[in-house]
Amino acid sequence: MKNILVIDREPSCRTVLHDNLNGVHHVFAVASGTEATALAQRQHLDLILLEMEMSEGSGAEICSLLKDANATKYIPLILLSSCSQKEDIINGLHAGADDYLTKPVCVSELLARIDTHLRTRDYYADLEKEDLLMLLELSEIISVTRNPKRILTIIVEKMVAAIDVSRCSIIGLSDGGELIVRASSDLPVNQEIKIDLARYPEIEKALVTQQPVVLQDIRKDPLMAPVRDKIQGLSDHAIFVVPIIKKQNVIGTFFLRTASPRKEWVSARIFKLCQLVANIAGNALENAVIFEAMHSQRQLLEDLALRDSLTGLHNHQHFHTRLEEEFYRAERYALPLSCVFADIDHFKNINDSYGHVTGDVVLKQIGKRIDAILRKSDLAARYGGEEFAVLLPNTARQGASDFAERLEQEISTLSVQQLKGTKVSISVGVATFQDGNMPSYQDLVQQADEAMYAAKQAKKKRGFPEN
């Protein structure tokens, strides 16, 4: 395990990062750049995570401080920032930062990025000359390819040619939570098939943990016990599944799955080669998908500024901008304005039991259900975490209550394959501004939030289990 230093002024943020990284690495957490340089004098550090919003100065200034200090100048440094801090990110990179991630941070991507920066020269010692040439050729080919489907096909073709496999596939997770084989060495080009997660325990484990899964002998490995009767006729013995992690909110979730007829096939060489290919694939897919979706640079920047990248709904900041505008319009013309807050019940349990990727699927599906029942004048946002907010202009209390009831009903019918029958529900709160009954738009938000909290508490009193 390596020593990771977290620098963040907020104790709660330090705790979250510590809890997510501890066990995988040794984690130290401080609140300032001064504390960081003092700690580095006493403790060997391998990597630094720096939050850009700091009370003692900008993140870029602290980054400069760390890169000027002898004890920390050569330590890889990753910036953590919101999308709205684009200028700070640029200044931080100019100050010497090695990389950045935007918040909310995906833990699996953070771990993958940390792993990339911690690699040393001896990491590549197990690879053969042909492996390095294949990686170089693969990078060059897909760097100029803008078709995501073609990128997946190229990766499969190169892997089959480079290592002894009976099958190489890239499997994607759709927004609806379905597993789809996007490219495979045993499928015609451009053909895709859906597969049942229940028949692939190794993919399910990689999905939940977002970590590589190695099975050296599928007939003896206890993970495969539930499907033992279904794999008896297979020629495969060893299976290796690697998550392709790179801004999963943009490209979705993919898995590189390779299988070999030989037992004990997953050597150090195969393990590292597959991980490196997965990293290359993630970069290429991200670039291709952004390129494909970018009608113009201005549109992309507008989407980044106004939209939540996971759900496609508006973000917290844009919601408040529109809320203020609509409140003053309602106040001026004596119109009603309603606000609905919704929070997913048991969401922590969903993440803990089924993995954060499944949690993301739930968030995406709820975002789609909300969007589907909006009027053109309404506005929905991912307010934070598992909380959503909906603004209903020219809507009185009864109309807002009807909307909230319909929304609860919509979510109750949601079915996500990875939840294995577990139902999703939400707690909803409604508040309405009418006839000057509250002085500001902040009061409208607060009352909707309090009503939502009261609804959640009422469920607990009725025996609804806590998160």
pLDDT tens digits along 273-290:
888 888 888 777 766 665
pLDDT more than 90, % of the chain: 34
Give the separation between CA 109 and CA 370, rounded to whole angstroms.
Answer: 27
Give the separation between CA 206 and CA 355, rounded to whole angstroms.
Answer: 9
Measured in degrees and rounded to the nearest 5, phi and psi for residue 17 equal -65, -40
What are the distances in angstroms from CA 314 to CA 105, 393, 450?
18, 16, 22
> What residues contact residue 271 under an 8 Å CB cut-off, 6+ apart?
212, 214, 240
Same domain? 358 vs 248? no
Tokens of 29: 């957490």
Same domain? 242 vs 138? yes
Closest CA to 112 of 17, 237, 243: 243
Cis peptide before 11, with omega less than 30 degrees from 0?
Answer: no
| Rounded to 5°, angle at Cα 284 from 280 and 287 | 145
216 burial class (0-12, 13-18, 19+ CB within 10 angstroms)? Answer: middle
Decide if 278 contacts 156 (C-beta within 8 A). no
Rounded mean pLDDT, 296-314: 69
Same domain? 182 vs 199? yes
Same domain? 8 vs 113? yes
Closest CA to 119 of 82, 86, 78, 76: 76
Give the separation between CA 82 and CA 13, rounded to whole angstroms.
Answer: 13
Same domain? 88 vs 153? no
Please report, for the domain that includes residue 13, its CATH number: 3.40.50.2300
Give the best-scoring range by mean pLDDT among 54-63, 78-87, 331-340, 454-463.
Answer: 331-340
Which of the listed residues 236, 259, 293 is the one where a domain comes to its end? 293
pLDDT tens digits along 318-331? 899 999 999 999 99
Same domain? 345 vs 289? no
User: Residue 467: inside a domain, yes or no?
Assistant: no
pLDDT tens digits along 219-277? 999 999 999 888 888 888 899 998 886 654 445 567 889 889 888 888 888 988 888 88
What are the distances in angstroms from CA 177 to CA 197, 251, 256, 357?
10, 14, 17, 9
Tokens of 430: 């409604």
Same domain? 312 vs 260? no
Same domain? 312 vs 197? no
Question: In the chain, how many domains are there?
Answer: 3
Decide if 78 contacts 99 (C-beta within 8 A). yes
Which of the listed residues 277, 293, 309 is the one where a domain comes to its end? 293
pLDDT band (50, 70, 90) for residue 446: very high
pLDDT tens digits along 358-370? 888 899 999 999 9
Give the separation between CA 415 and CA 296, rounded to whole angstroms.
Answer: 36
Same domain? 404 vs 315? yes
What are the distances in angstroms from CA 262 to CA 112, 157, 213, 267, 268?
28, 20, 17, 11, 15
User: Residue 382: inside a domain, yes or no?
Assistant: yes
DSSP letter assigned to residue 466:
P
Which of the listed residues 248, 271, 293 is the one where a domain comes to its end? 293
DSSP secondary structure string for all residues of 54-107 = -TTS-HHHHHHHHHHSTTTTTS-EEEEE-GGGHHHHHHHHHTT--EEEESSPPH
Please report, for the domain that includes residue 287, its CATH number: 3.30.450.40
Same domain? 342 vs 444? yes
Give the separation between CA 403 and CA 340, rounded to whole angstroms.
Answer: 9
User: Residue 15: inside a domain, yes or no?
Assistant: yes
Decide if 400 contacts 378 (C-beta within 8 A). no
Same domain? 220 vs 323? no
pLDDT tens digits along 25-77? 999 999 888 888 889 889 999 999 998 876 556 678 888 888 888 888 889 99
User: Residue 280: inside a domain, yes or no?
Assistant: yes
Same domain? 381 vs 244? no
User: What pTM was estimated for this model as a whole?
Assistant: 0.63
In which domain, by residue range, is 397 found? 301-461
Rounded mean pLDDT, 180-194: 87
- What was the pLDDT predicted at 465? 56
